[in-house]
């Protein structure tokens, strides 16, 4: 799962990513895209690690790109933004980081601290880059459809679709609002439209605004997760060990870490859940699409498991907590033998039986 953190200049993208991934903050003004791996915090995982004491633990992770801030106030900035945007067309999700914090040492973009205005500007610019791509595609297809090639029927269908997308963008709607079927989605997948991707809105608040709520209902629909955190405090927290961290969080009144909010919002926007495996001395969490079946889950781990799938021995963490051991679970039939069409549930602990 690949995620890009995008935002206007100096909204705190690098600071929050450093806090989430223990990476160092790139020098201000850095113009390259940096990559960081963010582990997904999971209480169930921690409990199981404590219970099984495996030799190795592997959290689910989110692959994050820290994209240098955009500056749309002049031509040079616009061109730089365009280049960066073209490099992130393959990501699965966009996290739009907007600034709410005051900091006299960091002059705000366009001299305003206004998360709603920043979000609107970002979204408009993303729409404009998609519009450009649609326009180029339409121009090419309009020439192409007159040629009697093998792909003519397909080209015609795509041209009609691109025109529909163009209309959506011109009425300031994201491409995602105009794509109705899987077939349409497939037709344009390789183009990497940004406004086809799910988004999360992340508001970086000041140290004294931790309780502040934000409502962008006039811009985005309720299915879009909105999270808030103070990147600077989170970065300080990340330097502390478990106990002092918990204390510091209580003192500040932070009830949920940015790491947890970040992971949950990405999972929710991408419609993901996790299943867990305990095998060969390794405890591991695996992200998977909600609604995926056991056979797909097996394939996540290894193609051999999918090819030679026999069954998925599955139990739930709650049952294990209640009954105390796998043996006790087995005795009362709480280790289920699921077939390849079983719909994996969030937090399932699965042992795949296979034969190749
Ligand atoms: N007071 C305060 N300052 C912050 C906060 N988050 C970031 N800053 C400061 O804002 C400046 C920019 O932070 P970065 O994390 O580099 O922001 P960025 O979005 O990566 O910046 P660009 O990549 O240049 O767009 C730094 O000086 C940070 O210390 C915050 O939550 N509170
Ligand atoms: Mg940065």
Counting from 1 in the atom list of ligand 1, the atom nearest the Cα of 207 is 32
Which ligand lies nearest the alpha carbon of 17? 1
Residue 69 alpha carbon, nearest atom of ligand 1: 25
Residue nearest to atom 27 of ligand 1 (CA): 106
Whether 297 maps to a domain, the answer reads: yes
* Cα distance between residue 82 and residue 131, in whole Å: 12
In a domain, 53, yes or no: no
pLDDT at 27: 77
In angstroms, rounded to a whole number, what is the distance separating the alpha carbons of residues 262 and 274? 15
Does ligand 1 come within 6 angstroms of the Cβ of 99?
Answer: no
Q: Which atom of ligand 1 is nearest to the CA of 234?
A: 31
Ligand 1 near 98 CB (within 6 A): no
Q: Is residue 342 part of a domain?
A: yes
Q: Is the CB of 237 under 6 A from ligand 1?
A: no
Report pLDDT digits (tens) over 134-189.
999 999 999 999 988 999 999 999 999 999 999 999 999 999 999 999 999 999 99
Task: Confirm whether 335 is domain-assigned.
Answer: yes
Q: Which residues of 245-267 are buried (b: 16+ CB within 10 A; e: fewer)?
A: beeebeeeebeebbbbbbbbbbb
For a substitution probing ligand 1, which of 8, 14, 15, 99 has the most ligand atoms within 8 Å of its CB? 15
Q: Is the pLDDT of residue 29 over 80?
A: no
Range name among 37-51, 241-255, 302-316, 342-356 with the lowest pLDDT average: 241-255
**231 Cβ below 6 A of ligand 1:** yes
pTM listed for this prediction: 0.94
pLDDT of 340 higher than 80:
yes
Percent of the chain with pLDDT over 90: 93
Measuring from atom 13 of ligand 1, which residue has the nearest CA?
12
Beta bridge partners of 311: 353
CATH number at residue 318: 3.10.20.30
Q: What is the mean pLDDT of residues 333-353?
A: 96
Q: Is residue 166 part of a domain?
A: no
Considering the domain boundaries, does residue 262 fall inside one? no
Distance linking the first and last C-alpha atoms of the chain:
28
Choose the weakest-confidence range: 70-74, 123-127, 187-191, 248-252. Answer: 248-252
26 pLDDT higher than 90: no
- Per-residue pLDDT, 24: 82
Instruction: Say how far apart CA 106 and CA 166 lie, in whole Å.
Output: 38
Which residues form the domain of 330? 291-354
Assess whether the C-beta atom of 287 lies below 6 angstroms from ligand 1. no
25 alpha carbon – ligand 1 mean position (Å):
10
Q: How confident is the model at residue 191 (pLDDT cuts 50, 70, 90)?
A: very high
Does the CB atom of residue 33 touch ligand 1 within 6 A? no
| Domain-embedded: residue 126 | no
Specify the number of domains making up the chain.
Answer: 1
Average of pLDDT values for 211-230?
94
Please check whether residue 349 lies inside any domain of the structure.
yes
Residue 322's CB is within 10 A of a number of other CB atoms, namely: 11
For ligand 1, say whether the CB of 232 is within 6 Å of any of its atoms: yes
For all residues of the chain together, what is the average pLDDT?
95
Three-state secondary-structure class, residue 159 = helix
CB contact set of 345 (below 8 Å; sequence gap of 6+): 273, 275, 316
13, pLDDT greater than 90: yes
**239-251 mean pLDDT:** 90
Q: How far apart are CA 355 and CA 306, in angstroms?
A: 10
Q: Which tens digits make up the pLDDT trace of 60-114? A: 999 999 999 999 999 999 999 999 999 999 999 999 999 999 999 999 999 999 9
pLDDT at 279 (0 to 100): 82
pLDDT digits (tens, 9 = 90+) for 288-301: 999 999 999 999 99
Q: Which ligand is located closest to the Cα atom of residue 204?
A: 1
């Amino acid at each position: 799962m690949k995620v890009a953190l995008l935002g206007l200049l100096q909204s705190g993208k690098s600071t929050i990513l450093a806090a989430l991934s223990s990476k160092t903050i790139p020098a201000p003004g850095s113009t390259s895209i940096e990559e960081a791996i963010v582990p997904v915090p999971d209480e169930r995982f921690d409990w199981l690690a404590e219970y099984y004491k495996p030799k190795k633990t592997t959290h689910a992770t989110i692959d994050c790109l820290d994209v240098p801030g955009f500056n749309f106030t002049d031509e040079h900035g616009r061109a730089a933004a365009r280049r960066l945007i073209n490099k992130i067309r393959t990501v699965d999700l966009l996290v739009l980081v907007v600034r709410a914090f005051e900091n006299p040492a960091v002059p705000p973009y366009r001299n305003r601290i206004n998360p709603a205005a920043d979000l609107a500007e970002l979204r408009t610019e993303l729409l404009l880059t998609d519009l450009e791509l649609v326009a180029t595609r339409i121009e090419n297809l309009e020439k192409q459809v007159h040629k009697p090639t093998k792909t003519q029927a397909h080209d015609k269908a795509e041209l009609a679709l691109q025109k529909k997308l163009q209309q959506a963008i011109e009425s300031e709607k994201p491409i995602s609002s105009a794509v109705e079927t899987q077939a349409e989605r497939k037709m344009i997948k390789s183009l990497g439209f940004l406004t086809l991707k799910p988004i999360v809105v992340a508001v970086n608040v000041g140290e004294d605004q931790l309780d502040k709520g934000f409502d962008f209902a006039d811009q985005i629909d309720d299915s879009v997760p909105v999270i808030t955190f103070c990147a600077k405090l989170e970065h300080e927290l990340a330097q502390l060990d478990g106990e002092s961290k918990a204390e510091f969080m209580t003192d500040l009144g932070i009830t949920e870490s940015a790491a947890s909010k970040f992971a949950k919002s990405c999972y929710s926007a991408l419609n993901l859940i996790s299943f867990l495996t305990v095998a060969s001395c390794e405890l591991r969490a695996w992200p998977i699409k909600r609604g995926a079946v056991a056979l797909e889950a097996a394939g996540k781990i290894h193609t051999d498991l999918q090819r030679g799938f026999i069954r998925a021995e599955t139990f739930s963490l709650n049952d294990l907590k209640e009954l105390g051991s796998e043996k006790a679970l087995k005795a009362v039939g709480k280790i289920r033998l699921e077939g390849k069409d079983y719909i994996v549930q969030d937090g399932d602990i699965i042992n795949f039986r296979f034969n190749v």
